[in-house]
Structure 1
Amino acid sequence: MAAAAAGTRVFLEVRRRLQSALLILGEPKEGGMPMDISVVPCSLQVKTPEGCTELQLPAEVSLVPSSCRGLQYVPGEGLHLRLQVRAESDAKRISMFNQSLQAQGCCTFYCQSCGEVIIKDRKLLRVLPLPSENWGALVEEWCCHPDPFANKPLHPQENDCFIGDSFFLVNFRSDLWQPRPELAPVETQCSSENHLKLKPKANTKVICKRCKVMLGETMSSETTKFYMTEIIIQPSERKFSIIPRSQFVQSVIAQCLVELSAARSTFRFTIQGHDGKVYILLWLLNSDSLVIESLGSSKSIKKFPLLEDNLKADSCSAWNAVKVLYQPCIKNRNAEWPF
């Protein structure tokens, strides 16, 4: 897939289930600008006095030129045009950058931010999904005898990896010979009985030694919880390569939303910080979108900072995406997000 000379910003969202697409042509200059749009099944081309932009479509997507309709101008965005497409369904829509684990494989755990090795050459004999967070209540409802799992936490044994909704549980017992990630400095808090006495607060944060990013938390002396947004797990024989931070986090969150929505039949979610504070409310609108975009110049990139890592100026790219409606829950929207 390649883009031609720099020109107008072109954005195409393809809905696989609806077999339809929305085409958005970048905001024209004041006073309008002549524009020639050519649509063929495998590509579309936009010509302006400033240049030409061509968008080549993936092999599994083709446009229906005769279906173009609903041309309108939206202030702040540009020209909108709807048309029909023929798109193949794709069961694996969201990429986790090969984050999926398989038993019997030898894996290495890396810090996603800097590439520091956290666990090296770990052979996983069992990779098991954890039950939902309210599984204990379900056992009490369906069992006529006392809950045999009461007060028994699910901790992995050696060479186990348990997968939660947004984290991995790993046993560190067999990695005592390896350099471990750091623990955060011990904090102190006032005793409720005597304000003059200080007692140490439980230290559970796991910090990357190189970049000092919080990777997870300790659950016990042998079990560590790693957050999916901070860890990359790859086969040991594969060479590690840095993935842009925003691109990786978006992919992980999208994967979590899709899986949780399917498992729990819900489309409403919240994103919380480590302190339990809710930062964002999310509503999952759809998960079958294919986004194809061409940025004509670096000025366009500045309008869409989340795309800085995905696209370079005068380039074209396509990726699978989920569409969400979000509502920030903090007053200062420029504050640092928990991820």
Structure 2
Amino acid sequence: DVVFNLRESLKPQKNYVFYCQSCGDIIVKDRKFFRVLPLPSEHWSALVEEWCCHPDPFARSTLQPQNDDCFLGDTFFLLNSGNESHKSKENTRVICKRCKTILGEAVSPDTIKYYVTEVIVQPSEGNFSPTPRSQFIQSVVAQCLVELSSAKSTFRFIVKGDNGKIYILVWLLNCDTLLVESLESSSSHSVSTLFGDSFMPSSAPVGTWNAVKVLYQPCTKSRNNE
């Protein structure tokens, strides 16, 4: 897989290295976690009053990782900042020291939120191998859509920016599409989608990839403002 699946592969008591996806610079080196825990859904607090017959017991508490914790969200993960010093002096954004890419944000003095689209996590014994940006983003988004649709039985999504602006509407159609690409030569690349048993010529080498099928609607300034 292009993307290191955090929920399935990030385990406690093992060492990991965090890299900037854009340039490969090491952000966190040889970090071992005692606890790796999934976070509740993003808007879980809005539903608390539906489940509790008394005042919200979580109103004054926040889910903050301790020194050796890693909390996994749908599109981010939280780490205790420890000795890391990537925070910008001007604001709470966390930036890469080498390429100045925004990696996340400081949500409290001791907690950093890293975006899964900007950071690659690999076991310490592994080697960093760069992945084209477009391919990485597609893989991350597809993985998030599959996990969210499976967990919440929803197939329509809204992609928003940090400012709350809506950029794109996505409708997930299926998660079991298989892409087949001819690897014979760069001039003869062809991609087909298989939905069942179909004939494939065996004379040329092929590559196969799992994919998701979506409909999407951009919401840019020049179109679809409503």
Using structure 2 for the length normalisation, give the TM-score: 0.84
CA contact (8 A) 1:107 1:120 kept: yes
**Whole-angstrom CA distance in 2 between matches of 1:277 and 1:233:** 28
Match of 2:218 in 1: 328
Match of 1:236 among 97, 108, 124: 124
Gaps of 5+ in 2: 192-203
Give the Cα–Cα distance (whole angstroms) in 1 for the partners of residues 63 and 73 of structure 2. 11
Aligned partner of 1:271 among 159, 180, 183:
159
Deviation digits for residues 228-285 of structure 1 (CA, Å, limit 9, x no counterpart): 0001111111111112211111111011101111111111111122222111110000
How many Å separate the matches in 1 of 2:149 and 2:2?
17
The aligned residue for residue 308 of structure 1 is none
Match of 1:166 in 2: 75
Identity of aligned residues (%): 62
In the alignment, is residue 318 of structure 1 matched against residue 208 of structure 2? yes
What is the CA distance between 1:109 and its match in structure 2?
A: 0.9
Structure 1 segment 20-99 matched on structure 2, within 5 A: 96-99=3-6
Tell me the residue number matched to 1:13: none
Q: 1:299 to 1:112 in 2, by over 3 A?
A: same
Q: Does 1:112 align with 2:21?
A: yes
Distance 1:247 1:131, change over 3 A: same
With over 3 angstroms needed to count, the CA separation of the structure-2 counterparts of 1:277 and 1:233, relative to structure 1, is same
Root mean square deviation, CA, Å: 2.4
Letter paired with 1:247 = Q
Alpha-carbon shift at residue 331 of structure 1 (Å): 4.5
Structure 1 residue 98: deviation in Å? Answer: 4.7
Q: Secondary structure at the match of 1:219?
A: strand
Q: Which of 51, 60, 64 is residue 142 of structure 1 equivalent to?
A: 51
Q: TM-score, normalised to structure 1's length?
A: 0.57
C-alpha contact (below 8 Å) 1:182/1:209 kept by paired residues: no
Query: Which of the pair has more CA radius of gyration?
Result: 1
Partners of 2:144 and 2:221 in 1: how far apart? 26
What displacement does 1:103 show?
Answer: 1.1
Q: 1:290 to 1:120 in 2, by over 3 A?
A: same
What is the aligned partner in structure 1 of residue 182 from structure 2? 294
Structure 2 counterpart of 1:214, one-letter code: I
Q: Report the equivalent of 1:103.
A: 12
Corresponding residue pairs, total: 209
Letter paired with 2:39: L
Q: Which amino acid aligns with 1:165?
A: D
SS at match of 1:149: coil
Say if 1:297 and 1:279 are closer, same or farther in 2 by CA, change over 3 A. Answer: farther
> Runs of 5+ in structure 1 lacking a partner?
1-93, 187-202, 305-313, 334-339
Structure with more relative contact order (C-alpha pairs < 8 Å, separation 6 or more):
1
For the 8 Å contact 1:284–1:322, the answer to whether it is kept is yes
Matched, 1:157 2:55: no
The 1-side partners of 2:180 and 2:188 are apart by: 15
Poorly superposed stretches of 4+, deviation over 6 Å: none
Query: What is the letter of the counterpart of residue 100 of structure 2?
Result: K
Aligned partners of 1:159, 1:332: CA distance in 2, in Å? Answer: 47
Q: Deviations over 1:93-114 (max 9, x none)?
A: x763354311111111111111
SS of aligned partner of 1:291: strand
Cα pair distance change 1:172/1:182, threshold 3 Å: closer
> 1:182 Cα shift?
4.2
* CA 325–126 in structure 1, closer or farther in 2 if over 3 Å, else same: same
Give me the whole-angstrom Cα distance separating, in 1, the residues matched to 2:63 and 2:188.
Answer: 49
